[in-house]
């Protein structure tokens, strides 16, 4: 008698839920799978068998795909006309089902299950194998965080007019790229850049660990203590701030000149010049030049000042003038011409520093009148004549104006005649001369009065002199003895 065996193989090549109570990992989401899992299942065994013989066959499971197959489970149903004898590997028996949990099968791996049954009679046996499995797709995602760091360096002290060079180092110290990185430097009022008070640099993207250095050059324009701050920003709120203090110093020049406000000709003027640096930095190569007006003759200068006759100026080379330092120098000049000259001094130093100062002075001459009265004959007899000479000498440096002489003849004498540079009138005992409009410096004027002695005695001839420049009259007298010879 021949027994006919029909075989059914069912293989699920897509994930299926495991049989109840079968262990296995949870289902995982598939993210962009490269290929679908492939599992091939077949049965190998006889298609006919004599009654009384055992039925031996194999279930072959192969992973023919490129990805691993997870949680492979095989279920074999025992036909009703057969009795289970053995299997390798040993299965679990669940109510007429033989169950194998084969675990995971990597690509190219094959597993075989050997089964032995004993048919109980003649007929056909239906054998059905159910294979289930799971598959998974993995996604490895690394979470990163970019971090921006900003380091700024620059000069601590600098002078006005000098360049201020700052180095700004931007770094990404994080684990991911920093995108949209922009550097902005906010310049304080003491610094100036051609692009304005805010300088911007587009850095772009910084990879993890990458650094870039930006050089920023500004110019110091105002003295004081300032803070230069820079900010670097990136996408998703990235930000870093760095700032450096900078002290901007500035040398300054100040000049002050003092001297007489009024001076008579022939006198020496002493002009004092104070040169100072009221700034916060040294002033280098300080020079002072005093332009002495032509109304003065140079006399001397202090502190090594050198006089140049061609320019009529005095130059001092003072060198370095420290912050807050002052120095006083002087020049002397002899007034020789009347007028209102202005004495000007000019100071300059490196960096275009300069200062000016002036001192105005009024120069005038002063008349100095000398009055002399002499008698040409002394003594004289009663009835005899003598002449009084009145001489006025202007010993000063300016003319005298409206000079007038009035002579008073003493009682006991009589004025007979008079002469002089101006007309005269005789009124009793007085001889009155008209005013002389001007008497130049170093000039003189001579007046003569002729008298006769009328009676003996010690006669006193008096002269009064006035002019516009005299605050009060000047008096002079001459004594003449008149005698009688009997």
pLDDT in tens for each of the 486 residues of the chain?
Answer: 234 444 444 444 444 444 334 444 443 344 444 467 788 999 898 988 888 899 999 999 999 988 888 999 999 988 888 888 999 999 998 877 899 998 999 999 999 999 998 998 888 887 788 888 877 766 777 888 999 999 999 999 999 989 999 999 999 999 999 999 999 999 999 999 999 999 999 999 999 999 999 999 999 999 999 999 999 999 999 999 999 999 999 999 999 999 999 998 889 999 999 999 999 999 999 999 999 999 999 999 999 999 999 999 999 999 999 999 999 999 999 999 889 999 999 999 998 999 999 999 999 888 899 999 999 999 999 999 999 999 999 998 889 999 999 999 999 999 999 999 999 999 999 999 999 999 999 999 999 999 999 999 999 999 999 999 998 999 999 999 999 987
Q: What is the CATH number of domain 2-134?
A: 2.60.40.1170
Q: What is the CATH number of domain 254-364?
A: 2.60.40.1530
CB 342 within 8 A of CB 356: no
Q: How far apart are CA 183 and CA 239, in angstroms?
A: 10
The pLDDT, as a whole number, for residue 23 is 43
Delimit the CATH 2.60.40.1170 region(s) of the chain: 2-134
| Token code pair at residue 339 | 């007028």
The pLDDT, as a whole number, for residue 456 is 95
The pTM of this model reads 0.56
Architecture of domain 369-483: Sandwich (2.60)
Delimit the CATH 2.60.40.1530 region(s) of the chain: 254-364
Delimit the CATH 2.60.40.10 region(s) of the chain: 148-249, 369-483
The pLDDT, as a whole number, for residue 67 is 87
Q: How far apart are CA 276 and CA 4, in angstroms?
A: 128
The pLDDT, as a whole number, for residue 35 is 61
Cβ neighbours of residue 219 closer than 8 Å, sequence gap 6 or more: 161, 162, 163, 164, 191, 192, 193
The pLDDT, as a whole number, for residue 124 is 85
Full DSSP string of 83-129: EEEEEES--EEETTEEEEEEEEE-TT-EEEEEEEEEE-SSSEEEEEE
Q: What is the CATH number of domain 148-249?
A: 2.60.40.10
| Token code pair at residue 386 | 């003598």
- Does residue 203 come out as left (phi exceeding 0), alpha (psi in the -120 to 50 range) or beta? alpha
Q: Is 166 exposed, middle or buried (0-12, 13-18, 19+ CB in 10 A)?
A: buried
Pairing of strands 157-159, 238-249: parallel
CB 265 within 8 A of CB 361: no
Cβ neighbours of residue 482 closer than 8 Å, sequence gap 6 or more: 379, 380, 381, 382, 412, 413, 453, 454, 455, 456, 457, 458, 459
């Amino acid at each position: 008698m021949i027994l006919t065996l029909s075989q059914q193989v069912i293989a699920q090549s897509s994930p299926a839920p495991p049989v109840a109570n079968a262990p296995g990992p949870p289902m995982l989401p598939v993210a962009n799978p490269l290929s679908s899992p492939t599992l091939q299942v077949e049965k190998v065994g006889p298609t006919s068998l004599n009654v009384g013989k055992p039925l031996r066959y194999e279930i072959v499971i192969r992973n023919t795909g490129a990805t691993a197959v997870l949680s492979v489970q095989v279920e074999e149903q025992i036909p009703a006309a057969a009795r289970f004898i053995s299997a390798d590997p040993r299965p679990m028996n669940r109510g007429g089902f033989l169950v194998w949990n084969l675990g995971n099968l990597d690509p190219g791996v094959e597993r075989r299950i050997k089964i032995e049954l004993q048919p109980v009679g003649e007929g056909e046996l239906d054998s059905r194998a159910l294979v289930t499995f799971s598959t998974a797709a993995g996604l490895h995602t690394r979470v990163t965080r970019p971090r921006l760091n900003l380091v700024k360096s620059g000069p601590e002290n600098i002078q006005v007019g000098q360049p201020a060079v700052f180095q700004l180092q931007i770094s990404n110290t994080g684990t991911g790229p920093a995108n949209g990185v922009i550097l902005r430097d906010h310049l304080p009022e003491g610094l100036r850049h051609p692009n304005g008070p805010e300088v911007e640099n587009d850095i772009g993207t910084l990879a993890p660990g990458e650094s870039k250095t930006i050089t920023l050059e500004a110019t110091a324009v105002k003295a004081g203590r300032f803070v230069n701050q820079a900010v670097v920003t990136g996408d998703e709120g990235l930000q870093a701030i760095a700032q450096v203090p900078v002290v901007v110093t500035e040398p300054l020049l100040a000049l002050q000149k003092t001297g007489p406000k009024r001076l008579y000709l022939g006198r020496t003027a002493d002009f004092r010049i104070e040169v100072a640096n009221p700034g916060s930095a040294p002033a280098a190569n300080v020079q002072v030049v005093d332009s002495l007006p032509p109304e003065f003759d140079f006399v001397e200068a202090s502190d090594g000042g050198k006089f140049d006759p061609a320019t009529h100026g005095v130059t001092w080379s003072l060198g370095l003038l420290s912050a807050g330092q002052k120095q006083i120098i002087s020049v002397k000049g002899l007034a020789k011409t009347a007028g209102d000259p202005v004495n000007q001094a000019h100071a300059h130093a490196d960096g275009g520093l300069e200062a000016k100062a002036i001192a105005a002075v009024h120069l005038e001459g002063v008349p100095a009148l000398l009055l002399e009265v002499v008698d040409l004959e002394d003594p004289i007899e009663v009835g005899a004549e003598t002449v009084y000479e009145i001489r006025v000498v202007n010993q000063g440096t300016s003319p005298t104006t409206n000079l007038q002489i009035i002579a008073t003849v003493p009682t006991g004498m009589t004025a007979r005649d008079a002469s002089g540079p101006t007309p005269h009138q005789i009124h009793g005992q007085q001889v009155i001369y008209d005013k002389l409009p001007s008497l130049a410096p170093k000039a003189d004027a001579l007046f003569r009065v002729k008298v006769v002695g009328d009676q003996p005695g010690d006669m006193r001839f008096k002269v009064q002199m006035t002019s516009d420049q005299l605050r009060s009259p000047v008096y002079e007298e001459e004594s003449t003895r008149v005698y009688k010879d009997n």
